[in-house]
A and B are shown apart, each in its own frame.
Chain A
C-alpha cells in the first residue's frame, strides 16, 4: 500500500508536542450510552428483538389457524383459555416463555457481555484505556440487565398488542374461576412482569459470573442455561421434599399465584428472597473474581 498521506502525519506529529497530561476521570469511562451503542448494534441483540417480535405473532397465527385448544383432563388450563382475549393470550405467552425462552435471552445478554469482549480481545483495550474493572462490570451489568428487563417487559406488552388485534380485548378469564376486567388484568400483568424480572436476577447472576470466568461467550451463556436446566430437573424429584425450595428455579413460576382471584403472595415473597440471595452471591463472586483476575485473553 502506498502512503501518500503519511508525510502529512509526520508533519502533524512534529508540530504536536506532548502537552499537559490528559485529565482522566474514571467516572466518565464507558458511559451507559456508549455501552448501549456497542451492544445494540450487535446481531444477537437484534436477533433477540426479532424473536420477541415474531413469537407472539407466530403463536397468535397458530391459534387462529389451529383453533382454540381444548382443555385437557387435568382441567381448564391457561392454554385452553389463550384465545379468549388479549390478556389471556398474554398470560399464556408469558407462561410458555418464562421457562426457557426468557431464561435463554437473559443468559444471552448477561453471559455474553464480558466473555464476548474477551473473545474479541477488546476487553484488554478497554481495561488499558483504562476503564476501572469494577466500573466496567457495573456498566456492563446495568446494560445487560436493562436489555433483559426490556425483553421481559416487551414480550408481554407486544403480546398484549398482538392479542388485541387477533382476539380482541375481552376481559381476562381465570383458569380458576371468574373474569378480570381489562384494567385488573393489566395490574396483574404488571405484578407478573416485576416478579419475572426479580427471578431473572438468578440466571443473570449465574450468566454474569460465568461471563467473567470464561473467555468463551458460548460457554458462559450455555453454561448458565445448562445449570438452570439441571436445577429444573432436580426440582422434578419430588422425593427431595422441602429441600427443593432452595433450588434457584423452584419459585420460577410463582407468579401464576397473581392470576388467582385472590392473589397469594407467599411464594412470590419466598421467590424474591431466594432470587435476591442467589443474585447477590453470584454477582459478588463475579466481582471478586474479575477484580483479581489476570486478563490474558
Chain B
C-alpha cells in the first residue's frame, strides 16, 4: 500500500502548486489591467501672446491630447523659473485621466518671448487669455452649450496666474491654484499685526530675483524672443536679466532700503490675485503648503475669503510641503478636482482638508507617515475652535545686535528643507533659532489634553522700544515636550514690524502667530517666543533693545482643528461583507452536513450478526478498483481469516468495515447497523489495521490511556490490565513509543484494539514482526477471545497461520471473493489418513480383510487450495 502514500503526497503537492499558480495568475491579470497606460499624443507650437510694446511675443506651448476627444481642457502654468517642461509630468497625468492639457512657458522664461512682469494683469494674464482663445478653437476641446470647457491650474507663479485669469476671463470653468500668493506685497513684506508693509523677506526675494536673472545667462537664438538681437550685453541686461526694466529698478530700490516704494506697492498690487478675486465665478481649489515661509497658509486664506465672498465654491487644502520643500501637489488631487468641477459636482460649502505630518505609524516600517484629516467646511485661518491657554513669564528685555548679526536661523530658502528634516526631530538644530539675549519667552503649563493645533493662534503682548521709534520682532509658537526639547513647527516665524513708537512707552499689540498644523501631546508645553533677529528678513542695522511682556490678562488663543481621519471608501462595508461571507459559509456547511447525512437504514434482521458485507465495491480516485462485488458474513464466535495475496483487497475491505473509507457500491452492516464514518456502532468494534499508530512522544501506557480517554467511555470499561498483559511489554510500557521495536509496537497496537474487550475484533496482519512463540501465544489469545462469544476477523497472507487459528476463511484475490466457508469446508472433508507405500495393493489387502476401502485424495493443505483457487482465476 506504499502507492497510497505516494498518491497522498502527490495530491498535497498539487494542492499547494494549484494555489500558488492561482495567486500568480491573479497577480498577473491585475498587473496587466493596471499597467495599461493610455496613449497620449503631444504637439508643440508657438502661440502669439500679448506684444511687448511693438514687439510681438511668441509663447512656447505643448498640447497633450488624451485618447478620447473632445474632452475638457486644462491650461497648465509653471512655477517661477520653470518652463512648460517642468509641468510635463502633471500634464501627462491629467491627459491620461482624460483631459486636453495645454502646458506653456510663461513670458520671460525658457523659449517664450517677452519680459517677466510678475504675473501682471497687463501681460502674463493677457497671454493666458490668448491661450484660452487658442484652446477654444481646438476641435478636441469639449463644448457644453457652445462654451468650451476650460480650466486653469498652476503652482506658485502659475497658481497666481490661474487665479488672476479666472478673475478676468469668464471662459474659465475651473481653477486649481497651489502654494501661491494673495497679495505679493503682504507676502514679501509680512507683518504679524496685519499692517502691510511689514518686514522685508529679503532672502526669499533675493532668491526669486536670482531665479529670474538666470533666465538671461545663455542667450543663443531664442525663437520668438524679443531681445535676441541684443548682441553686446548691456549692464542693465546683466543686472535685470529678463525682468521688465521698471520692475527691476523698483525691486533694486526696495532691496537696498528694505522698505517698498509706493510705486513698487502699486506694481505688486497689479501682480496680485487679491484685486480680481471678487470676479472669480469658477469653482476653485486652493492648496497651500504647511512648510512654506514664502507664501504661508495665510495667503491661501485671504484668497479663499476673497473668492467665497461672491458665493463661488472654494475648496481649501493644507498640504504637506511648500516652498520650503517636502513634497509637491499630488497629480491625483488635480485629476479628481477637475473631474468633479467639469462634471458640475462642485457646489455649496466645500470640505476642508488638512494633511497631518507623521500622524500615523506606517504598517510597513513602523515609522510615522502623514494622514489626511477632513473638516466639513473651511474654518478660516484663525479657526473656529479656540482653546485659551494661559501663559506665564515676566517682562523680558532683549537686544537686537548691530547689523543684525548674528541672526537666528529658522526657515531659510533652499536649505530650509534640510533644516526642516532635522529640526522637526531632535530640536538640536532649532537651538540655532534661539539666540541667547535675543529672545523673550512665555510658557504655558503642561497641557492636560492633547490638541491638534491648526491655523494661526494669537496673543496680545506689550512692546516697549527703548532707543528707537520702530521695532522689528519675530514671533514663534514652540512646542516644548515633556523631555524638554523645543520644536518650532515648520520652522515658521511671524515677523512683526511696529512703527511710530515712543521710546520707553509700552505699546500693546495683538499678534498673529505663524499658521501651522502640529500635534501637541498631553504633558507638552506651548511657548510663545519673541526674537529680535531672523536670517531671512531685513533687520535694522543699529543696535537696540526692547522690553517684551504679556498684556495683562492675555492668554494664548490657540487655533485648533477637529477633523476626522479621511477615509477612503467604507470600512464597515468590509466588515459586513466579511462577516456575511463567514456566516453564509458556516450556515451552508452546517446545512450541507445535515443534508449529506447518509440515509442508510439499519437492518434489524442482522442485529445479532457481527458483520454482513453485501456486494461491496471500492474504486479509488485514481480509478484503481480495489474491491469488486464482495459479499460475506461473519457470525458470532467465529474467528474468520481474511486470506489473500498482497493487493487482494483485504485491507480495503477492513478499512470500509471501520468507516475509514466510503465504499463506491454495496453496504457494510455491523450488528445490523450500517457503517459510515463515525457510526456509533463502531464503538462495539476494536481494530488494528495496517500497522500500529501511536503518538511517539508518549509512553505506551499513556498512549493506551489517552486513546481510551478519547473514546469518552468510563475508564473502568477499558480493562487496561488485560490489554497490557496481552501486549506483554513489562516495564517498557513506561518508555516512549518512539523507542519501541517494530514488534513491541505491533503488540501494543493489538492491545489497543482489545481495549474494552470489543465484541468484534478486527486484526490486519497481526503477526507481522512477532516471533514464533509470540505468534503461538497470539493464536491462543484469539481462540480464547472467540470462545467467550466474541468475534474475530483476522486478515493475513500467511496461509498456515490462518489455517491454524481460524474457524472460517474468506479468500480474496484481485479484489474479488474467491471462496468462503469453514476451514474444513475449504480444505476438504475430515477423514483419517493412513500412509502406505502401495495404495493399490493396500486396497486389495483391506478388501480381502473385509474392510471397505475407498481411494480418496488426501486432505490438502490450505495453501494448495488457495493456490488452486488463485490459479483458477
* Chain A residues with a Cβ under 8 A of chain B: 1-3, 5-6, 8-10, 12-14, 16-18, 21-31, 34-35, 37-38, 41-43, 71-72, 74-79, 92, 95, 120-135, 174-179, 210, 213-216, 219-220, 223, 226-227, 230-231, 234, 237, 239-241, 243, 252-254, 256-257, 259-262, 264-267, 269-270, 272-277, 279-281, 284, 287-288, 291-292, 294-297
Residue-wise interface mask of B (571-598) relative to A, using a CB-CB cutoff of 8 A (1 in contact, 0 not): 1111111110111011011001100100
Given contacts A16-B788, A122-B695, A131-B710, contact A297 B4 (CB under 8 A): yes
The stretch from B203-211, B686-694, B843-851 touching chain A is: B686-694
For B553, the chain A residues whose CB sits under 8 A away are none
* A-B residue pairs in contact (CB < 8 Å), sample of 24: A5-B725, A16-B757, A38-B698, A72-B367, A76-B358, A120-B695, A178-B520, A178-B523, A210-B16, A214-B12, A215-B8, A240-B31, A253-B363, A253-B364, A257-B361, A261-B359, A261-B521, A270-B575, A273-B578, A274-B574, A276-B581, A277-B581, A281-B585, A287-B589
- How far does the Cβ of B377 sit from chain A's closest Cβ, in whole Å? 21
Are B574 and A129 neighbours in the complex by a CB distance under 8 Å? no
CB distance from A7 to the nearest CB of B (A): 9
Contact of A30 with B572 at beta-carbon distance under 8 Å, contacts A130-B679, A261-B450 already known: no
If A132-B678, A243-B30, A261-B450 touch, does A176 touch B368 (CB 8 Å cutoff)?
yes
Q: What's the A-B contact tally at a CB cutoff of 8 Å?
A: 345
Given known pairs A22-B684, A128-B660, A260-B361, the reply for A296 and B27 (CB within 8 Å) is no
B635 CB within 8 Å of chain A: no
When chains A and B are docked, how far (Å) is the Cα of A260 from the Cα of B13? 43
Select which of A124, A131, A277, A295 is within 8 A of B577 by beta carbon. Answer: A277
Contact A269-B574, Cβ < 8 Å, known A41-B697, A129-B710, A130-B678: yes
* Contact status of A26 and B23, CB under 8 A, knowing A264-B565, A266-B567, A276-B582: no
> Cβ of A75 and Cβ of B20 under 8 Å apart?
no
CB distance from B395 to the nearest CB of A (A): 32
Is the beta-carbon distance between B678 and A227 smaller than 8 angstroms?
A: no
Judged by DSSP, the binding face of A is helix
Which 3 interchain pairs have the tightest Cβ spacing?
A178-B521, A273-B578, A121-B693
Question: Smallest CB–CB gap between B519 and chain A, Å?
Answer: 5
Once bound together, how far apart are the Cα atoms of A2 and B776, in whole Å?
11
**Beta-carbon contact of A288 and B589 below 8 Å:** yes
Bound complex: CA A259 to CA B344 (Å): 40
A71 to B698, CA, bound (A): 50
Residue among A134, A252, A277, A281 facing the most chain B CB atoms (10 A cut-off): A277
Known: A22-B756, A34-B709. Is A175-B366 also a contact (CB below 8 A)? yes
List of B residues within 8 angstroms of A261 by Cβ: 359, 450, 519, 521
Tell me if B34 counts as interface (CB < 8 A to partner A).
yes
Inter-chain contact A269/B722, CB cutoff 8 Å: no
A275/B788 contact (C-beta < 8 A), A128-B682, A129-B711 known = no
- Interface members, chain B 278-329 (any A CB < 8 Å): none
CB distance from B736 to the nearest CB of A (A): 10
Chain B residue nearest in CB terms to A181: B522
Min distance, Cβ A12 to any Cβ of chain B, angstroms: 6
Closest residue on chain B to residue A271 by CB atoms: B574
Question: A71 CA to B367 CA in the complex, in Å?
Answer: 9
Contact A75 B12 (CB under 8 A): no
Contact call B367/A294, Cβ cutoff below 8 A: no
Cα A37 to Cα B774 with chains together (Å)? 33
Q: Collect the chain A residues with CB atoms within 8 Å of residue B20's CB.
A: 226-227, 230
State in angstroms the CA–CA spacing of A3 and B687 once bound together.
23
Whole-angstrom CA separation of A113 from B662 in the bound complex: 23
Nearest B residue to A34 via CB reads: B709
Q: Do B16 and A219 have beta carbons less than 8 Å apart?
A: yes
Q: Is the CB of B773 within 8 A of A3?
A: yes
Taking A219-B12, A267-B571 as contacts, is the C-beta distance between A6 and B777 under 8 angstroms? Answer: yes
The distance from the CB of A182 to the nearest CB of chain B, in whole angstroms, is 14
Q: Which of A240, A264, A281, A292 contacts B34 (CB 8 A)?
A: A240
B773→A280 contact, CB < 8 A: no
A130 touches which of B520, B677, B726 (Cβ 8 Å): B677
Instruction: Give chain B residues whose Cβ lies under 8 Å from the Cβ of A262.
Output: 359, 565
> Which listed residue, A3, A22, A178, touches B683 by the CB 8 Å rule?
A22
In the assembled complex, B865 has its CB within 8 A of some CB on chain A: no
B9 touches A (CB below 8 Å)? yes
Q: In the assembled complex, which residues on chain B have CB atoms less than 8 Å from the CB atom of A296?
A: 1, 4, 8, 655, 660-661
Query: Min CB distance, A181 to chain B, in Å?
Result: 9
Contact A16 B680, CB 8 Å, known A24-B713, A273-B578: no
A5 CA / B773 CA spacing, docked (Å):
14
Known: A120-B694, A215-B8. 7 other contacts (CB 8 A): A31-B712, A75-B358, A129-B710, A176-B358, A178-B519, A261-B359, A297-B4
Q: A71's closest neighbor in chain B, by CB?
A: B425
Q: Tell me which of B364, B692, B712, B785 contacts A28 (CB under 8 A).
A: B712
- The residues of A that contact B710 with a CB separation of less than 8 Å are 29-31, 34-35, 126, 129, 131
Contacts of B30 in A (CB 8 A): 240-241, 243
B789 at the interface (CB under 8 A from A): yes
- Interface residue B771 (Cβ < 8 Å from any Cβ of A): yes
- When distances are taken between beta carbons in the complex, the residues of chain A under 8 Å from B368 are 75-76, 175-176
- Interchain nearest-CB distance for B4 vs A (Å): 4
Is B371 a contact of A264 with CB atoms below 8 Å?
Answer: yes
In the complex, which residues of chain A have a beta carbon less than 8 angstroms from the beta carbon of B34? 239-241, 243
The residue from A6, A38, A125 contacting B725, defined by CB atoms under 8 A apart: A6
Taken together as a complex, chains A and B put the C-alpha atoms of A8 and B693 apart, in Å, by: 27
Cβ-defined contact, B693 with A123, below 8 A: yes
Question: How far, in angstroms, from A29 to B711 measured CA to CA in the complex?
Answer: 5
Partner among A10, A37, A231, A274 whose Cβ is within 8 Å of the Cβ of B780: A10
Tell yes or no: B240 within 8 A of A by CB: no
Selected contact of A213 from candidates B15, B482, B581, B757, CB within 8 Å:
B15
In angstroms, Cα B774 to Cα A122, docked, is 24
- Report how far A129 CA is from B678 CA in the complex, Å: 8
Instruction: Give the distance in Å from the alpha carbon of A148 to the alpha carbon of B523 in the complex.
Output: 38
Could you tell me the distance between the alpha carbons of A129 and B680 in the complex, rounded to whole angstroms? 9
Q: Which residue of B lies closest to A223 (CB)?
A: B16
Complex Cα distance, B679 from A26, in Å, reads 9
Give the shortest distance, in Å, between B293 (CB) and chain A (any CB).
Answer: 22
Decide: A34 near B706, CB < 8 A? Known: A122-B694, A227-B16, A256-B361: yes
Query: Is the Cβ of A78 less than 8 Å from the Cβ of B684?
Result: no
Closest B residue to A214 by beta carbon equals B12
Q: How many whole Å from B793's CB to the nearest CB in chain A?
A: 13
Nearest-Cβ distance from residue B112 to partner chain A, whole angstroms: 37
For B683, what are the chain A residues with a Cβ–Cβ distance below 8 Å?
21-22, 24, 129-130
Distance (Å) between the CB of B94 and the closest chain A CB?
A: 19
The verdict on B11 contacting chain A, using a C-beta distance below 8 Å, is yes
Does B524 make an interface contact (CB < 8 A)? Answer: yes
**Contact present for A75 and B367 (CB under 8 Å):** yes
Chain A residue numbers with a CB within 8 Å of B577 are 273, 277
Task: Tell me if B759 and A18 are in contact (CB < 8 A).
Answer: yes
A24 touches B582 (CB 8 A): no
- B521: chain A residues at CB < 8 Å are 174, 177-179, 261
With the chains together, A152 CA to B655 CA distance in Å? 40
Contacts of A175 in B (CB 8 A): 361, 366-368
Chain B residues near A72: list those with CB within 8 A: 367
CA distance A214 to B12 in the complex (A): 5
Chain A: CB-nearest residue to B652: A296
Judged by a CB distance under 8 angstroms, whether B365 is at the interface is yes
B498-513 interface (Cβ within 8 A of A) = none
Give the chain B neighbours of A124 by CB distance below 8 A.
655, 658, 660, 689-690, 693
B5 part of interface (Cβ distance < 8 Å)? yes
Q: Could you mark each residue 26-63 of chain B with 1 if its beta carbon is under 8 Å from any beta carbon of chain A, else 0?
A: 01001100110000000000000000000000000000
Q: Is the CB of B5 within 8 A of A6?
A: no
Q: Once the chains bind, are B697 and A176 in contact (CB under 8 Å)?
A: no
Contacts of B678 in A (CB 8 A): 26, 127, 130-135
Which of A28, A125, A220, A291 has most B Cβ within 10 Å? A125
In the complex, what distance in Å separates the CA atom of A9 from the CA atom of B788?
Answer: 12
